[in-house]
Amino acid sequence: MLFALNLHIVRPALRLSHIARHLSSSTRYTMSYPATIKAVGIQKQGGVEVIENLELPFPEVKPNELVIKVQWAGVNFIDTYLRSGLYPVTAFPLPIAKEASGIITELPKDESVLNSEAFKSRGFKKGGKVALDTYGTLQEYVTVPWDGNVYSLPEDVSTRLGAAALLQGLTALAQETESYNVKKGDNVLIHTVAGGVGLILAQIAKTRGATVIGTTSTPEKAEYAKAHGVDHVILYRSESTVDRVLELTGGQGPEVIYDGVGKDTFEDDLKMIKRKGTLVSFGNASGAVPPVPLTKLVQKNIKLLRPTVANYVATLEERNYYGPELFKLLASGEVKINIFGEYPFTAEGVRQAQLDLTGGKTTGKLLIKVADDV
């Protein structure tokens, strides 16, 4: 399955008597790092009650890896899919976040890596700020290959902003570049436009000169969306999304629909999309879309995609393109990240964050504060 391809396997807890040997044989960091670290995660799938406080061995460090002291972790829907069982988990315990930021405490030990132009292109330095998107980040320290999904943060992007922007920002940017390249004059429909991904999609579409139509549930959320540049907001609980979208697009429908809701909105998307339009179904907030017969696409010759950011931003070249592009949008103020809330680094804090996210209560990003900024 696509989402299992780059699943970072968190090693099961070792017995403490094994840890000193484990660290001294595979790393040179034994003296300066704790034998065990705090984490919050799961040992089995289920309701939010399976989220627990964990104590894990300090991660094994390979010669090609950075060691990062985590300051912030981002909360994402994928955490809830992994916790609930919608997506598979291949190894437990799993610290239950897939996004973090912090400070590099160790560079790779492999000299050939350090001397390579590819490594130098990444801008990593000891003490430097980074943000990363990889499984198992809700712990005090993480390790990640230097050529993995990890990015140096520029001076003007804090670690708090980095963790808030990375996963949803890369998702929005890659989808508006590759799923459908949004351009001036397009009508773009974005469901859950006041959500984390939705607000970023909307702002990027505005930088391209598109007209943005968004759906949301409440007038309060609609105000957030308008404050982030959305041209028309449809309150789907009190008005017909299909009728309003057709009215706003002169009966034609939008060139592209970005849909992170999934099951509840898919059939209406087919009614609204423009002939030869592109339907990007990229999430399951209301549940997964059931299998779709190909003949459904014939009615308007539409393109249907079910992408994941992990397959758009997978190579070093793609990372070196999309990371800096995202940070430029943040630094210029063209994309502003709305941070909905910060939650404590405890099982209780993470359970609450997941309940708020899946309960549809949030506008923008939820963060876990793992350690103070330095």
- Residues interacting with ligand NAP, by CB under 6 A? 76-78, 167-168, 171, 192, 194-198, 216-217, 221, 260-261, 264, 282-286, 307-309, 357-358, 360, 362
Smallest gap from Cβ 361 to ligand NAP, in A, equals 7
Smallest gap from Cβ 14 to ligand NAP, in A, equals 32
Contacts of residue 271, Cβ cutoff 8 Å, sequence gap at least 6: 242
Smallest gap from Cβ 320 to ligand NAP, in A, equals 19
User: Reading across the β-sheet that carries 232-235, which strands appear in turn?
Assistant: 232-235, 211-216, 187-190, 256-259, 278-281, 303-305
Q: Which of residues 65 and 176 has its CB atom nearest to ligand NAP in the complex?
A: 176
Q: Which of residues 113 and 242 has its CB atom nearest to ligand NAP in the complex?
A: 242
Smallest gap from Cβ 133 to ligand NAP, in A, equals 9
Residue 256, beta-bridge partner list:
188, 278
Smallest gap from Cβ 13 to ligand NAP, in A, equals 29
Q: What amino acid is encoded at 149 in this protein? A: N
Q: Which of residues 214 and 253 has its CB atom nearest to ligand NAP in the complex?
A: 214
Q: Which of residues 85 and 209 has its CB atom nearest to ligand NAP in the complex?
A: 85
Q: Which of residues 249 and 284 has its CB atom nearest to ligand NAP in the complex?
A: 284
Q: Which of residues 84 and 320 has its CB atom nearest to ligand NAP in the complex?
A: 84
Smallest gap from Cβ 99 to ligand NAP, in A, equals 10
Q: Which of residues 211 and 362 has its CB atom nearest to ligand NAP in the complex?
A: 362
Smallest gap from Cβ 198 to ligand NAP, in A, equals 5
Q: For residues 142 and 134, is the Cβ–Cβ distance under 8 A?
A: yes
Q: Which of residues 263 and 300 has its CB atom nearest to ligand NAP in the complex?
A: 263
Inter-CA distances, 364 with 12, 31, 74, 341, 342, Å: 33, 40, 11, 9, 11
Smallest gap from Cβ 77 to ligand NAP, in A, equals 3
Smallest gap from Cβ 225 to ligand NAP, in A, equals 8
Looking up tokens 């829907």 gives 77
Q: Which of residues 62 and 263 has its CB atom nearest to ligand NAP in the complex?
A: 263
